[in-house]
Amino acid sequence: MKKALWIFPALALGTAALFSEELYRYTFCRSSSPLLAHFLDKKGHGEDYYQKRDAAAEALRKRPRERMEIRSARGNRLVGYYYPGAGDGKRIAFFIHGYRSEHAETAGLFYDLYCSLGFDLFCCDHSAHGESEGQLIGFDVYESADCLRWIDTLRRRFGEDIQVLLHGFSMGSATVLKMSGDCPDCVKAIVSDCGYMDGAQQLKSSLGAFYPLMRTVNRLVAGYDLKDTDVRPSLLRARLPILFVHGRQDRSVSFENAEKLYALYPGEKDCLFIDDAKHMECIYLDAPSYRRKLAELIERSLSKEKEG
């Protein structure tokens, strides 16, 4: 009878340990958790959005491109693609994708727009995403350091006189804001589309009571603390023109993030806030306004440089 009494606590502990492992995989690892994904993953957009996004991604993959590779500080092989457009290698829009996405899925909708504005495109797959190696996601810590390495690679490939516009989405938006205080002179402007202020706050809301445990496990496994995902210290050091874009109906990264980031930034700034847009839907719902704001940003930050 006494032995039987130990079965239930042992089962409870085993179940808790298994769930914690699955939750960490689901949140932080490339491999994710099929079990939790089945119950937790939900589509956030209508089918029309996905059809347009996926068609644009497929069209981008078929365009002429130059494959590039670098190594991260962690030793992972990272893959990126340069898509010739209208910039002759001197004006480059660097697209930085979000959580569990990949380069073409993000950049496809913008290829024609940036070509019409005189740019080539560069986009990379983050560590643990797409064609790049790695198993762990950095929530902007890994990604910001890796993207600074990519900028150095672009300077070596196309020359020190290139002009780069950083355009990030969701976790990629947090990545460009995390980079904003440390960018080399070739970076002339930033577009932050639906970014968060702090990955820790994002995960607290999604992980709930499991957040402290997941933070501790991640610090041991991945080697960074989630408090290091806060973009605000970098943003306060930055001096680049920044366009903040966000949908007011965003349920993945709340619109409150955009309001606070915009208010916090002391440098030159502009905003595009779309009333009916959900997460990353601004270009889908109001492409003319997006193009106008981009053109104004480029005119202020790059055109004068080019003419001078």
Mean pLDDT per block of 10 residues along the chain (308 residues) reads 51 64 94 83 91 97 97 97 92 97 96 96 98 98 98 97 97 98 97 98 94 96 97 97 98 97 97 97 97 97 57
**What pLDDT score was predicted for residue 15?**
55
How many CB atoms are closer than 10 A to CB 109? 21
**What pLDDT score was predicted for residue 9?**
57
**What pLDDT score was predicted for residue 36?**
85
**What pLDDT score was predicted for residue 14?**
52
Say which DSSP state 235 is in. Answer: H
Crossing angle (nearest 10°) for helices 141-158 and 171-179: 70
CA pair distance 128, 278, nearest whole angstrom:
25
Determine how β-strand 187-193 pairs with β-strand 242-247: parallel
The domain locations on the chain are 44-196+231-307
**What pLDDT score was predicted for residue 4?**
52
**Domain 44-196+231-307 fold:** Rossmann fold (3.40.50)
**What pLDDT score was predicted for residue 87?**
84
User: What pTM was computed for the model?
Assistant: 0.93
**What pLDDT score was predicted for residue 32?**
87
**What pLDDT score was predicted for residue 119?**
97
On the CB side of 95, how many CA atoms lie within 13 Å of its CA?
A: 28
